Amino acid sequence: MEMVKIKRALISATDKDLIKDFAIGLNHLGVEIYSTRGTASFLKTLGINAFLIENYTGFPEILDGRVKTLHPKIFGGILARRDMAEHGRQLKEHNITTFDLVCVDLYPVMKFISDGADLDNIIEHIDIGGISLIRASAKAFKDVAVLVDPLDFTPILEEMKNSGGISFETRKYLSGKAFQHSSKYDKAIFEYLTDNAQSLRYGENPHQSAKYFKDGSYIKEVIRGEISYNNVLDLDGAIELCFGLKSLGYKHSAVIVKHGSPCGVGVSDKNVTEAFISAWDCDPVSSYGGVLVLSCSPDLELLDNMKGKFVEVISAPSYSKDFIERSIDRKKLKVLVLDEAKILSKNKGLYRSACGGILSQNRDEWWNDFNGTGSGELPGSFKTVSKRKASKDEIETMRLAWAVCAITKSNAIIVAEPNKIIGIGGGCVSRIDATNMAVDKAKKVAGINKKCLVLASDGFLPFADSVRSAVELGVTAILEPGGSIRDQEVIDACDNAGLALVFTGKRHFRH
């Protein structure tokens, strides 16, 4: 692609001071400048004679400035294909001048929104002409350079001085930046008009401001209480695990999460109250003050069993009228309704900010690992590598432990007995630390099932030390991805202790 020589520029600015040096630089390079009335008046104070757009189009600015640049002679001069003879003929026929550079800023609607301006004021500061110019110029980047960020002004002037124009690579970069700019602008308006952005009391800490953007949220309704930034973070993993267990066939499930990792997980074939009791007994100390997610509507029995057990948030797909009325007595309890149809929705990508950029990945659909298998059956991709094979009860326990592993912060180790999690070690920088944490918690549980006790690891066990800790507890089977250079040491340690060892061939890290 050829270098575009900048002969003619269109400049329209709300914040005139930002374009001062850039306009002077363009003028020194002999670039003709076209601008709206206010910008032209400002440029004149700098000794720059700009062509008034209304004189060029033959149509005045109207409607108190709502319509300034929306004219075929403007957009034709931007969007015309310079490599097409027919476009050239039409430009000549309608006396349209082409533009090589467009520099526009937008009415600061985001500032008016954040300042709490009224609706009419905000509507008046929604930019139409500017956003249209930006999108048209960004589309036409093969022939036009578009500038929306003052940080680009000096580099562009330098490129024009050194190269005599603006390269295709630069124009392409500027186009992408312009589309990002217009997207953020439109998103801010969308969030305001749809009440999509909910201001939170504060962020992770009281000195941090925060908002929750609710588009696509799993939270259908907040019946009572004000949710916090940390509540939402904890709910994310708790909801995924609770309804993932439901998709695996567990009739009732309850999950308690605190500081981003599960500290209590319970399942039951009888009722959700039993699942809650099991979840709380997993780690009563850590569960205090956590968020609770239930896979189905709770009954009054559950509320009775919550006495003396403080959870900050309870979330479920629905509630009975009696439950809502009775729960009023728990003044600090926040009650949320979940949108089950949106939970575990396929095609949902995951996004998070990092290092000033955005990371994106598809969802880790861990619940599919055991889906399609019968009771007591290992998935076909899993491999028994020990001499002893896991029993049906051990395999069913592996199903539960593996699910909790996938949601626990890495490094993660889970200890489980049939239908019950008794030890969770997560968020550790070494796997032996995670193992010791899970084992120590499991040791506090009375009456451990010595016939069926499973340890699951989200990543491979790099050494046999984790096996030794497991044997000391009484673990009978281990589930882990495998893939370490010391796999054989781990296998030998399991064989010597009579443990069943299954390699999944897949890990579930969660950072």
Residues recognised as catalytic:
139, 259
Contacts of 127 (CB under 8 A, 6+ apart): 106, 107, 109, 185
Query: Measured over all CA atoms, what is the biggest interatomic distance in the chain, rounded to whole angstroms?
Result: 92
* Per-position b or e across 408-425, b if 16+ CB within 10 A of its CB: bbbbbbbbbbebbbbbbb
Q: Would you call 295 helix, strand, or coil by DSSP?
A: coil
**Residue 445 backbone phi and psi in degrees, to 5:** -85, 130
Contacts of 25 (CB under 8 A, 6+ apart): 153, 157
DSSP 297-331: ---HHHHHHTTT---SEEEES---HHHHHHGGGST
From the CA atom positions of the chain, what is the Rg in Å?
31
Contacts of 368 (CB under 8 A, 6+ apart): none
In one-letter notation, the amino acid at residue 184 is K
- Record the tokens describing residue 270, joined without a space: 């009888």
Distance between CA atoms of residues 337 and 340, nearest Å? 9
Beta bridge partners of 417: 420
C-alpha distance from residue 20 to each of 12, 43, 150, 390, 498 (Å)? 12, 8, 10, 75, 79
